[in-house]
Amino acid sequence: MKKVIIIVFSIILLLFPTNESTVYKQHHFHKECKLIMAVGNATKGNYSILLKVRDPARVGWQVLCHIPRGYEYDYHHPWFGYKLHFVVEHSFIGTTTLYDTPPNITKPGMLINDAGIAFADADTISYFVNPSIFAWDDFDWLRYAAQYADNIEEAVKLLIDVVDKFHATSVAENIFVVDANKGIIVEADAFNYRIKEVKDGIEIRSNYPKMLWNIHFLYPLFTASKFNETFFGWVKEKEIVKLGSLLGIYIAKIGNDYVRACLYPVGISKKIKVGEGVVIGNFWLELFEIKERKARIYLCFKYYEWERKLKEIVEKRYGKIDVNDAMKWSRLHDLEVRAMCEGGYEAATIYKIPKDYPEILSCIWFAPNQCSSIFVPIHICSFDIYDAYENGEAHRIAAKLLEKYGHGNLTKIFEEIEKDFINETKKAEEKALCLLNERKEQEAKLLLTLSDIKLQIKAIAIEKMLLGE
């Protein structure tokens, strides 16, 4: 019995740390990612948008890595470790940590291939994983699908093959797969999966399951019976509030204009004033009013509240969503529960995938430490990328700018520059489209490459000027 108690207590501490980091904001969620997709009638034109803000598990400078069609490499079998040989059938450009690039195995946290299919993921917690030392990680999972997929249906099939055929992965995932016409969410671990197709609309995710909530039993066991389970009502001092799970919130004290609450059965207490909310463990607790020694509170899973708040912001732009909106969302700080921009080794990547010639006109917009760097364009067909975005220099500059100027202080300057970049890129794409309609594919690719590199060089020059270099 003593061993059981120790194990349960260890799991609680793992899932609900009692001392959240305050490096960049009151609530910092370390090594977690944020995903937003907008498809169909949610966007301003005939294209889809996918945004990922990556806080990488593989810590280091974030870079762009292009893997060409025909590239060959060996990688191990996910259970027995013997070599498997792979030949890349679709070139792709991924956002990865420096040194997770050839000659090493590339480990992209988000990527797009030359079929115009973009992939992005966010880890979740599950013990239904491959325990082998040879298990594949989430980056292997994405790479495997991207290098072979001709279309979005095939991309999803390949992702599911990793589950059904190989049971390959050491981690459970939310995976967003987006092409010009729709988006698909794949929630999966090494043995289970669920699929949701989105033809019109927006979707938001971070590091939590929704469709696999009950299968990934730690969530209903320790957090809430359902992802969207909430409590709204009056509580007394010394009362325990739960959402259908073992853990909950203990109302330790009710003052005149505040309550003091802590995670039940163990946790450091926090003081919440009327009109405020706070993250406690895996919960979001909000205090509305106090009357006759009773408190009216709202309690939910912290990510449920985060998703709800972010969705309110995103939906205001429904039907008009474009690249500049995704840039703004990537820099949000005032979400209370959790900011989109938190510092560290973060990087933001936006994919814009048009219905016309997606294999050529699909465009990546990349910014390492997005609060302190300018988003720059890279088309999937580009022949080259400016070195600073491949060797880590761009991220090193962004980190220095963040240290010098802090969060949000360069945003207005960068937004004006990015507005010009978006307009210049739009003009280049219009010229490229004319060339493609005239069957001048190479000329179109060269035009886009030169336009992209010009803006990449300009962005680095501006950032260095701001540093005084």
Question: Which pLDDT value is given to residue 25?
Answer: 35
Mean pLDDT of 206-224: 96
Helix axes 138-146, 152-164, angle to 10 degrees: 140
Mean pLDDT of 252-278: 95
Query: Does residue 246 have a pLDDT over 60?
Result: yes
**Percent of the chain whose predicted confidence (pLDDT) is above 70:** 93
The pLDDT tens digits of the residues spanning 435-445 come to 999 999 999 99
Q: How far is CA 342 from the centre of its chain?
A: 12
Neighbouring C-beta atoms of residue 42, cutoff 10 Å = 22
Query: In which band, very low, low, confident or very high, does the pLDDT at 388 lie, cut at 50, 70 and 90?
Result: very high
The pLDDT tens digits of the residues spanning 77-132 come to 999 999 999 999 999 999 999 999 999 999 999 999 999 999 999 999 999 999 99
Question: Which pLDDT value is given to residue 32?
Answer: 81
Angle at 340 between CA 380 and CA 460, to 5 degrees: 50
How would you classify the pairing of strands 258-264 and 270-273?
antiparallel
Residues in a beta bridge with 367: 348
Task: Name 374's Cβ contacts closer than 8 Å, sequence gap at least 6.
Answer: 367, 414, 417, 418, 421, 459, 462, 463
Query: Does residue 148 have a pLDDT over 90?
Result: yes
Domain limits, the chain: 29-213+323-467
Nearest-Å Rg of the Cα atoms of the chain is 23
Query: Does residue 300 have a pLDDT over 90?
Result: yes
Mean pLDDT of 338-351: 91
Query: Does residue 12 have a pLDDT over 80?
Result: no
Q: Which CATH superfamily is domain 29-213+323-467 in?
A: Penicillin V Acylase; Chain A (3.60.60.10)
Higher per-residue confidence, 301 vs 17: 301
Burial (0-12, 13-18, 19+ Cβ within 10 Å), 298? middle
Query: Does residue 305 have a pLDDT over 60?
Result: yes
Question: Which pLDDT value is given to residue 334?
Answer: 82
pTM (two decimals): 0.93
Query: In which band, very low, low, confident or very high, does the pLDDT at 65 lie, cut at 50, 70 and 90?
Result: very high
Residue whose token pair is 């007394």: 236
* Rounded-to-integer distance, Cα 193 and Cα 257, Å: 46
Question: Which pLDDT value is given to residue 3?
Answer: 40
**Among 18-22, 113-117, 153-157, 335-339, where is mean pLDDT lowest?**
18-22
Give the per-residue SS3 of 384-443.
CCCHHHCCCHHHHHHHHHHHHHCCCCCHHHHHHHHHHHHHHHHHHHHHHHHHHHCCCHHH
pLDDT averaged over every residue in the chain: 93
